[in-house]
Chain A
Amino acid sequence: MSSAAATRYDVAVIGAGMAGMAAALFAAERGLSCIQVGSGGGILFASGLLDLLAVHPVAEHRLWQSPYDALAALAGEQPGHPLARVDPTSIRTAFQSFVAALTSAGLAYAPLGDRNSNLLTSIGTVKTSFGVPLTMVAGVDALAQRPPCLLVDFRGLREFSARQIAATLADDWPDLRHQRIDFPGFEAVPEVYAVHLARALETRETRERTIALIKPLLGDARAVGLPALLGLTRSREVHAAFEAGLGVPVFEIPTMPTSVTGLRLLGALESVVSSRGVTRRQLSSVRALTFDYDTALLQLDGLPGGERISARAVVLATGRFSGHGLMADRQSVRESILGLPVQQPGARDAWHQDDFLDPAGHAINRAGLRTDEVWRPLDATGKPAWKSLFAIGSILADQDWMRAKCGSGLAIATAWAAIEQVAQPLRETQKP
């Protein structure tokens, strides 16, 4: 729309994954005018859990119950890791701010402390994470105490098997039982989808029928675990109804992506970002990005005739390969918008270890953009590509977020740090 073209935004955020959303949120909260380009579709894969840092070093797969202790260790051993370059106080504040925003949009989290939590995954493994949605909190306690507990799944929901979880944990948690029921209203179909079930549970009648089906199966169970589908926009209400109806704590277990939790998170983030005045361009992408002294010019496609946007600063939060922030051919990896130099293994055959499941991970996963001390990506000469261009999130080099279990932490912390820079008054000593 023409009004967007006429405005010179304080910051343009390219990317709408966790990092991009966090950056847009923080920018808006600081009163910066912000436009955000890109689809939040990647967030649909989220479990709703917010990792900060759980594994370090990756090769040893050492788990930390205190993420801040882990961060301290990381800072000592891998000072180049992006998370090590953001001070812990800022990380703490950033997380509080992020979670507060989500809570305001109806997606409440357990209070953030200093500790990680351990929860069940949908295949019966245990995940260590930091930010836990309220609907999942009872599962943390249950996993710790291992009381008699019932896991319920639904016929036709192929991505979730209570039996599998119970079987995986059989030795450690003998009182973990499992039952399968038909979801009310979906008895006649062979395959069901979590989001549809979640929406159906926002209808009181369906909720009551489901609770009535589970109640007789409780036995001596002191907690009930369900796949994460207790409502979509009203998960608190649905969860509370289940607890009230069953008389025991109820916890959600994150399912495979694409999941209800991802859709909840996306909805909450879009709501928060929009309500704070961020202009969104979900189905657009940046075709060209140029810089004209103190203004960045973005050429967007997706709209008829394209769209030109100008901004005082740009935050590159385009992610890695699945989000197309990085593109790989058979020889090398390149950054897709500006062709910024990507730190990567020297030779193609150095990308991977021979063993796919090598605990140390693969060099290619640590490829990415190098930045200076204020998060500006470097050009081929080693200088910042542009004085007000910042790079955040998983596109950064020297981190392996999947193995370190630090994805959200990386995104939120680096977003906070970059927006700090953007919010600073114009600096005279900026190198062009």
Chain B
Amino acid sequence: MSNTLFRAALDTSLLLCALGLLWRMSTWYRLRIGPDVRDLTLVPRLRALLRGFAAALFTRRAFHVGVALFLDVLLQRRLYRSDKSRWLTHLLIFVGFMGLLLMHALAAVVALKMFTGYESTRNPYLFLRNLFGSMVVVGLAFFLIGLRRRRRHTLHAPMRRPMDAAFVVLLGFVLATGFLLEADKIVSPQVFYRMAKEFNGSADPAELKPLRAFWASEFGVAFDDLTAPITPDLLRQGRAMHEADCETCHAGAASAFVSYPVSRVLAPLARVLDAGQAPTWLLYLHVFACFIGLATLPFTRFYHVLAAPISLLVNGAALGRSLSGAGRAVRRALALDACVGCGICDAHCSVAPLARHLDNRYLLPSHKLIATGELTRGRLLQPGHLTTGAGDAAWRAAEGAFGCTDCGRCTSVCPVGLDLDDLWQSGRADLARAGLTAPAQWVQARPALAWAESLQRDFWPRSFFDPDARDAPLSANRSSFSRCVQCQACTNVCPVVAYSTDPAYGVDLTPQKVMNLLRLGMRDLAMGSRMVWSCATCYQCQEHCPQGIRVADIMAELRTLAVQRLGAVRSHKELS
């Protein structure tokens, strides 16, 4: 291809890539996650960045950074610990791709400088190129197989963006065109004649006959006009010509252990391909696909190649949680980019069974991370969210965020070393500020009476069959509490009532009053009461009740009912 075109395309792609990177990386300094870093503007963050760099390079942290670079970025130790088969898959793609990148794509700046006598058609480079390419292909195959297997087993796969699929397709396309190009060049008579002209001086088929014979039998070129039988003598002649003009640059084609077999398939079509200028447009396709990949790098999966190592190195330098506020702010925003959506966190999540049961994927880390991004970009909450149906996604996200048990498994298995613990805590704080809180908070934010009135006004058809009988059997069944004689034993042994000496945070009812509400058929009023939601479930009440009423169990049931019922009416205008 023409040099000018090549350069122009390359420069454009690089520029687009750089602009895209600037844009993406700017979010690390713009996004604010967590109330503790809310007031940190751009300048402190940049200062933190510079200080971080300096620290990383010039203090003893440099050692840790180096270790992180070697173990975590190159050897992917974290991934190895979390999932060995995926580590293998990734390693294949990683090594294969880096090999192709450095040795093949950047041959002019890397390979030529490092290895004297580099020629792309010589061994070991020919072999290596095929090896690297096949590693990527095998890796991609493992990846796709693994993906299918995981999809079958988990109910909630990590969210796939269209760009992710596009990138895999692009990568496959680059490899396919690369192998096809090499295969076509192997069989192409046109290419042969061009090379012969350049290195032998002649393009005359008759003159080149011995060489052609040699190349046809040893290198697989598909001449369709090589009529005369190929005698050993002819081959000897051809070999002599080959040794004179070609050998210095050409290793045996069989070393191209992928392209050569492919070329055998293409051989019958050699003339057609030549007529259609296949070598040329395959090259264009191959190179432009690479350029497209480069230009779109900041917006595809490929971005992780930069974001993930930076994240790993930042963690290596951070030595745990000793980051300043600005450092934390950067690291949290960085996490949103560095996440590759691998879903290893989801596979280890302690509350994954609950996510399946509640059909709420926001309980799973990979989705929580995306929701955190949406929240901080102001996309999770719409104006007037609390009063419109659009708030449902926001509330689902909150349910997911507050359902987390902070077990820390996701953080320890994350291959990219994201500090998910910190992200969840700060995310929850942000949600709370936006009014999206855990049930215990949003219920207790309104008086029980307000909730009860709202429920009365809302749909609730009082049916003949109590729908709570299944999910809250004790509170739906009179016999569970009808024996209550209001003796106040439960109230007297309740520590929550004992310490409710300040009306500001004390409870509004007592356990025996809650039981009485049930006896009066006023379950709605009980559901929204502070007593039910400040119950410590310490079971003193149930242990002491002279009538054997399961007071604490009933309280727990009322809470589950409240989450459903009050959740359905919490967007009422009157309650905002």
Given known pairs A189-B500, A196-B498, the reply for A44 and B548 (CB within 8 Å) is no
Query: In the complex, how many angstroms separate the beta carbon of A206 from the nearest chain B beta carbon?
Result: 11
Do the beta carbons of B501 and A195 come within 8 Å of each other? no
Do the beta carbons of B491 and A193 come within 8 Å of each other? yes
Partner of A44 from the list B489, B497, B500, B502 (CB cut-off 8 Å) is: B489
Do the beta carbons of A283 and B544 come within 8 Å of each other? no
Do the beta carbons of B502 and A283 come within 8 Å of each other? no
Q: How far is the CA of A193 from the CA of B510 in the complex (A)?
A: 11
List residues 274-308 of chain A with CB under 8 A from any CB of chain B: 282-283, 285
Interface: A257 (CB within 8 A):
yes
Interface: A39 (CB within 8 A):
yes
Partner of A258 from the list B489, B510, B542, B548 (CB cut-off 8 Å) is: B489
Interface: B506 (CB within 8 A):
yes
Q: How far is the CA of A322 from the CA of B548 in the complex (A)?
A: 12
Interface: A347 (CB within 8 A):
no
Q: Closest residue of chain A to B486, judged by CB?
A: A258
A257 contacts across to B, CB distance below 8 A = 487
A98 contacts across to B, CB distance below 8 A = none
List residues 496-512 of chain B with CB under 8 A from any CB of chain A: 497-498, 500-503, 506, 510
Q: Closest residue of chain B to A17, judged by CB?
A: B546
Do the beta carbons of A39 and B545 come within 8 Å of each other? yes
Interface digits, B476-496 against A, CB 8 Å rule (1 contact, 0 not)?
000000000101110111000
Query: In the complex, how many angstroms separate the beta carbon of A44 from the nearest chain B beta carbon?
Result: 5
Do the beta carbons of A195 and B492 come within 8 Å of each other? yes
Do the beta carbons of A195 and B493 come within 8 Å of each other? yes
Q: How many residues does chain A have at the interface if contact means C-beta atoms less than 8 Å apart?
A: 22
Interface: A41 (CB within 8 A):
yes
Query: In the complex, how many angstroms separate the beta carbon of B539 from the nearest chain A beta carbon?
Result: 10
Given known pairs A39-B548, A41-B489, A195-B492, the reply for A189 and B503 (CB within 8 Å) is yes
Q: How far is the CA of A196 from the CA of B496 in the complex (A)?
A: 10
Interface: A27 (CB within 8 A):
no
List residues 127-186 of chain A with CB under 8 A from any CB of chain B: 185-186
Do the beta carbons of A193 and B492 come within 8 Å of each other? yes
Work out how many contacts link A and B, with CB atoms closer than 8 A: 57
B498 contacts across to A, CB distance below 8 A = 193, 195-196, 199-200
B489 contacts across to A, CB distance below 8 A = 41, 44, 258
Q: How far is the CA of A42 from the CA of B483 in the complex (A)?
A: 13
Query: In the complex, how many angstroms separate the beta carbon of A168 from the nearest chain B beta carbon?
Result: 24
List residues 297-321 of chain B with CB under 8 A from any CB of chain A: none
Interface: B543 (CB within 8 A):
yes
B497 contacts across to A, CB distance below 8 A = 193, 196
Q: Closest residue of chain A to B490, judged by CB?
A: A258
Given known pairs A193-B488, A193-B491, A257-B487, the reply for A186 and B501 (CB within 8 Å) is yes
Interface: B547 (CB within 8 A):
yes
Do the beta carbons of B492 and A258 come within 8 Å of each other? yes
Query: In the complex, how many angstroms separate the beta carbon of B494 from the nearest chain A beta carbon?
Result: 9
Do the beta carbons of B492 and A42 come within 8 Å of each other? no
Given known pairs A193-B492, A258-B489, the reply for A41 and B546 (CB within 8 Å) is yes
Query: In the complex, how many angstroms separate the beta carbon of B503 from the nearest chain A beta carbon?
Result: 6
Name the residue among A41, A186, A282 with the largest chain B CB count within 10 angstroms. A41
Interface: A1 (CB within 8 A):
no
List residues 526-576 of chain B with CB under 8 A from any CB of chain A: 542-548
Given known pairs A196-B497, A257-B487, the reply for A45 and B546 (CB within 8 Å) is yes
Interface: A194 (CB within 8 A):
yes
Q: How far is the CA of A285 from the CA of B546 in the complex (A)?
A: 13
Interface digits, B453-497 against A, CB 8 Å rule (1 contact, 0 not)?
000000000000000000000000000000001011101110001
Do the beta carbons of A45 and B501 come within 8 Å of each other? no
Interface: A357 (CB within 8 A):
no
Partner of B543 from the list A42, A45, A185, A282 (CB cut-off 8 Å) is: A282
Q: How far is the CA of A221 from the CA of B174 in the complex (A)?
A: 102
Can you pick out 23 interface pairs between chain A and chain B where the beta carbons lie within 8 Å of each other?
A39-B545, A39-B548, A41-B489, A44-B487, A44-B544, A45-B546, A188-B501, A189-B500, A189-B501, A189-B502, A189-B506, A193-B488, A193-B510, A195-B493, A195-B498, A196-B497, A200-B498, A257-B487, A258-B487, A258-B488, A282-B543, A285-B548, A322-B546
Interface residues of B (CB under 8 A from A): 485, 487-489, 491-493, 497-498, 500-503, 506, 510, 542-548
10 closest Cβ contacts across the A-B interface?
Answer: A41-B546, A195-B492, A196-B498, A258-B489, A258-B487, A44-B489, A193-B492, A42-B546, A258-B488, A186-B501
